[in-house]
Amino acid sequence: MKTGSTCTAAAVLSMAVASACSADVWPHADGMMKHIMVALENQTIMVHVEGDPLESLEMLRYPGESYTPPADVLNEKFYNSRYGWMADGFISLPDGAGVFVSVLSSDAGLEVYEGGMRSMKHMHTYAPILGTAGSDPSWLWGGTMVHNWYAASKPGSYSATYSVYVGDVATGAPLDGYTPGQATVFFHAVPAPGSLGALALGAVVAGRRRREVR
């Protein structure tokens, strides 16, 4: 009886460990949302960024974390999902038209992956957009709140400026009679707080070892 109980307990523990190892792991959604508000007034796209439009958002990297596909495109990268596209009122468009976001300029090394609502990370496509990995530099925004993932492989400062325009959903071409708007996003890529502490501790330990050797 004791042997059977022990075996059963071991089997349960083994199953629990296997389940934990296979659990989905999704990227972090740190920080308050910062929306890029889009409105259409008299056939002119009006765009404004909430709060300080020049605020530079932190892109953090979490060393050693591996995310569940398709989110694994963010593995070992600095990333941030705080910026979100959001309609500022009702946007009425003719049939076959949509609102597009297109790259006017972007710093080398800044990547963008398609997201969605921040609470629904498991449903994001994580597809490269806005010129990332050879993707189309224009992205068709669906009109609902979307928080894309901005990423970089190296620390530093990054920015991108976008044109927001009304275009043909089939071709992406701008429609005559509509005036586009613009939005610029800013980032700085830094190690996550925990990794900074680990680096500092490693430096202290290395220093102690060098002193001991001497």
Question: What is the SS3 assignment for 173-212?
Answer: CECCCCECEEEEEEEEEEECHHHHHHHHHHHHHHHHHHHH
Rounded Cα gap, residues 157 and 146, in angstroms:
23
pLDDT score at 54: 97
pLDDT of 211 > 80? The answer is no
Rounded Cα gap, residues 101 and 152, in angstroms:
20
Burial class (CB in 10 A: 0-12, 13-18, 19+), 208: exposed
pLDDT score at 42: 96
Predicted model pTM: 0.81
Query: 19-73, pLDDT tens digit by residue?
Result: 345 699 999 999 999 999 999 999 999 999 999 999 999 999 999 999 999 999 9
Rounded mean pLDDT, 79-86: 98
pLDDT score at 24: 96
| Phi-psi category of residue 206: left, alpha or beta, with phi > 0 → left and psi -120 to 50 → alpha | alpha
Neighbours of 143 (CB within 10 A): 15
Query: 84-111, pLDDT tens digit by residue?
Result: 999 999 999 999 999 999 999 999 999 9
pLDDT score at 109: 98
Rounded Cα gap, residues 111 and 148, in angstroms:
10
pLDDT of 9 > 50? The answer is no
**Beta strands at 138-141 and 97-106: parallel, antiparallel or unpaired:** antiparallel
pLDDT score at 190: 87
pLDDT score at 191: 78
Token pair of 197, please?
């502490």
pLDDT score at 177: 97
Report DSSP state, residue 55. P
Average pLDDT of the chain to the nearest whole number:
86
For the chain, the domains span: 25-213
3-state class of 4 per DSSP? helix
pLDDT of 212 > 70? The answer is no
Query: 192-206, pLDDT tens digit by residue?
Result: 766 544 444 344 333
Instruction: Report angle CA 26, 65, 70 to the nearest 5 degrees.
Output: 40
Rounded mean pLDDT, 6-23: 46
Report DSSP state, residue 93. -
Cβ pair 51, 93 in contact under 8 A: no
